[in-house]
Amino acid sequence: MFNKDQQTIPVSKDHVEFLKKIKLTKIAIKTSQLSLFIFIFLFWEIAAINKWIDPFIMSQPTRIIKTIINLSKDGTLYLHTGVTIYETIVGFLSGTILGTLIAIILWWSDFTAKVLDPYLVVLNALPKTALGPIILVWIGGTTQSIIVMALLVSIVVTILNVYTGFIACDEDKIKLLKTFGATKFQILKKVILPANISNIISVLKINVGLSLVGVIVGEFLVSKSGLGYLIIYGGQVFKMDLVMTSVIILSAVAALLYLAVHWLERKIGNIK
């Protein structure tokens, strides 16, 4: 119950061995992860130098580094990366907020939820990227249409996941509040929402990845900037160095956004 009581036990030799073993395994995993990373890039570089692969088509790590330096000199690197990050964050925040609001409406009115159920199922199954050209025509080749794309990709999953979490809430907790005479709004505010915070955060985690898909597809279709634009442009003019560089920066962006949500999750977990 209280950790204070457990610390007074003297540490035995066995326990020290046990802790050491766990620590060693941890170090071994980290070292292997790093070695694998170095190995892949080293092998890629050696293969390109020895002409086992054609660096014009496959690119190579030193060329990528060179490209990154060149791009950052004239600032285009920051511009394109910034645009993609901005579109992704706006897209996934609005997707999550709007999706949660719709989930609240569905929870509020069981009738609405039942009426909309088949539509949500179909929309969920539909690959949202197929709507790209429609959005392009309706909204135009602007940043807005890319954000809408990101929003569309994430919103249906948000609605379904959050709504499922809402209705899975313990009936007895709701009954408890009802015995105090709680209104539906009070039940929402005091039980449903706080009980679902961690659920919503895990939806946020899924949405970061999904919104990035939406943004890149959007940029493929319409834009004049962003990492998606760099990738498609590089492909068209056959600059594979540019394509590979953009993909690698994109993976870094994806990882960073994911880590940011993960950090948020832990922060909120601590408050709880």
Instruction: Rank residues 142 and 183 by Cβ distance to another protein and give the closer one.
Output: 183
Instruction: Verify binding: residue 186, another protein, rule CB under 8 A.
Output: yes
Give yes or no for a contact between 95 and 105, defined as CB atoms under 8 angstroms apart. Answer: no
Give yes or no for a contact between 201 and 268, defined as CB atoms under 8 angstroms apart. Answer: yes
How far is it, in rounded angstroms, from Cα 171 to Cα 240? 57
* Piece of 36-44, 81-89, 183-191, 209-217 that binds another protein (CB under 8 A): 183-191
Instruction: Rank residues 54 and 170 by Cβ distance to another protein and give the closer one.
Output: 170
DSSP state of 10: P
Q: Which of 93, 182, 188, 254 binds another protein (CB under 8 A)?
A: 182
Instruction: Verify binding: residue 2, another protein, rule CB under 8 A.
Output: yes
Q: How far, in Å, are 69, 156, 231, 246 from residue 225 at the CA level?
A: 18, 27, 10, 12
Q: Which of 191, 221, 222, 253 binds another protein (CB under 8 A)?
A: 191
How far is it, in rounded angstroms, from Cα 232 to Cα 228? 6
Q: DSSP letters along 11-40, please?
A: PPHHHHHHHHHHHHHHHHHHHHHHHHHHHH
Give the footprint of another protein on residues 196-225 (CB under 8 A): 197
75 three-class SS? coil
* Piece of 70-78, 86-94, 113-121, 166-174 that binds another protein (CB under 8 A): 166-174
Instruction: Rank residues 30 and 184 by Cβ distance to another protein and give the closer one.
Output: 184
How far is it, in rounded angstroms, from Cα 272 to Cα 260? 19
Q: Which of 33, 130, 181, 270 binds another protein (CB under 8 A)?
A: 181
Residues that bind another protein (CB under 8 A): 1-2, 170, 172-173, 175-182, 186, 190-191, 194-195, 197, 272
